[in-house]
Chain A
Amino acid sequence: AQSVTQLGSHVSVSEGALVLLRCNYSSSVPPYLFWYVQYPNQGLQLLLKYTSAATLVKGINGFEAEFKKSETSFHLTKPSAHMRDAAEYFCAVGLPYNTDKLIFGTGTRLQVFP
C-alpha cells in the first residue's frame, strides 16, 4: 500500500530563512509525487510534481523538491521564506496506471515570522 508521512505538523521560520518541509513516501512501485499548498479557506494548489524525469523539481513561488529514491524522500525547500508563504502544505503520492487517486500526508503548517 502507498502512504505518505510528513514529519512535523508545524514548522516556524523567520522571514528570509530557509524553508524545509519533510515528506517520506512508501510505495511498491516508482511513484509520482506532488506538493500542494492550501491557503486559508481555499482549495489546494499544485506547487510541483515529480513524474520520473529530473529528480530535482522546480515549482511555483520559488519552491523546489528533490526526489531521493534511496531515502524514499521528497522534501520541499525554499531558500528564503516570505510572509505570503504561510499556509498548509501537503505531500501526496500517486501511482502510474492507477485510477489517479492521490494519497495525501497529514500536512505541515508553515508559519513565517517577520
Chain B
Amino acid sequence: DTGVSQDPRHKITKRGQNVTFRCDPISEHNRLYWYRQTLGQGPEFLTYFQNEAQLEKSRLLSDRFSAERPKGSFSTLEIQRTEQGDSAMYLCASSVGLAGANEQYFGPGTRLTVT
C-alpha cells in the first residue's frame, strides 16, 4: 500500500495560466475525491468520482475547473485561467466501502500559489 500520491506537491503560476494536478489513488479504491483547503479553513469538497463517473460537483467548482478520471484510475484536476483566489492546497482522497461510512485516505496535497 503506497498510499495516495499527488503531483506536483507545489505549483507557482502566474494569473491567467492553466494548471493541471494529478492524483493517484490507492490501487483498489474505486472512489476518488478532490477537496480544496485554504489557510485557516478545513477542506471543502470539490468533486467526487466513483470509478470513472463524476457523480457530484460542488458549487465551488466553477466553469474554469474540470476534473477527469479516465479508466477509473488516476484523476486530474485542471484549472483554466487561474486567479489569485485559486491559491490553496488541493487535496485528493480515495476510499472503498459503504457510502458515508468509508474512511477517506488523503494524499499530501498540491499547494497552488497564483501570483
> What residues of B have a CB within 8 angstroms of the CB of A94 in the complex?
100-101
Contact with B along A77-98 (1 / 0, CB 8 A): 0000000000000101011111
Bin chain B's interface residue count: 20 to 34
Q: CA–CA, A53 to B95, complex, Å?
A: 20
> What residues of B have a CB within 8 angstroms of the CB of A46 in the complex?
103-105
Bin chain A's interface residue count: 20 to 34
- CB of A102 within 8 A of CB of B106, answer no
> What residues of A have a CB within 8 angstroms of the CB of B99 in the complex?
96-100
Q: Does B112 contact A (CB under 8 A)?
A: no
> What residues of B have a CB within 8 angstroms of the CB of A42 in the complex?
108
Which one of A32, A99, A103 has the greatest number of beta carbons of chain B within 10 Å?
Answer: A99
> What residues of B have a CB within 8 angstroms of the CB of A36 in the complex?
106
Q: Does B48 contact A (CB under 8 A)?
A: yes
- Residue ID in chain A nearest B9 by CB atoms: A41
- Residue ID in chain A nearest B41 by CB atoms: A106
Given the interface contacts A92-B42, A101-B56, A107-B42, does A44 sit within 8 Å of B100 by beta carbon? no
Q: CA–CA, A112 to B26, complex, Å?
A: 33
- CB of B42 within 8 A of CB of A100, answer no
Given the interface contacts A42-B108, A45-B106, A101-B33, does A106 sit within 8 Å of B100 by beta carbon? no
Chain B interface (Cβ within 8 Å of chain A)? 4, 31, 33, 40-45, 48, 55-56, 91, 93, 95, 99-109
Q: List 19 A–B pairs whose Cβ atoms lie within 8 Å, in order of A's numbering.
A: A32-B100, A32-B101, A34-B103, A43-B91, A43-B93, A43-B107, A43-B108, A44-B43, A44-B106, A94-B100, A97-B100, A99-B99, A100-B33, A100-B48, A100-B99, A100-B102, A101-B33, A102-B45, A106-B41
Chain A interface (Cβ within 8 Å of chain B)? 4, 9, 32, 34, 36, 41-46, 49, 51, 90, 92, 94-107
Given A4-B42, A104-B44, 16 further pairs, Cβ under 8 A: A9-B40, A36-B106, A42-B108, A51-B101, A90-B43, A96-B99, A97-B100, A99-B48, A99-B99, A100-B95, A100-B102, A101-B33, A102-B45, A104-B42, A106-B40, A106-B42
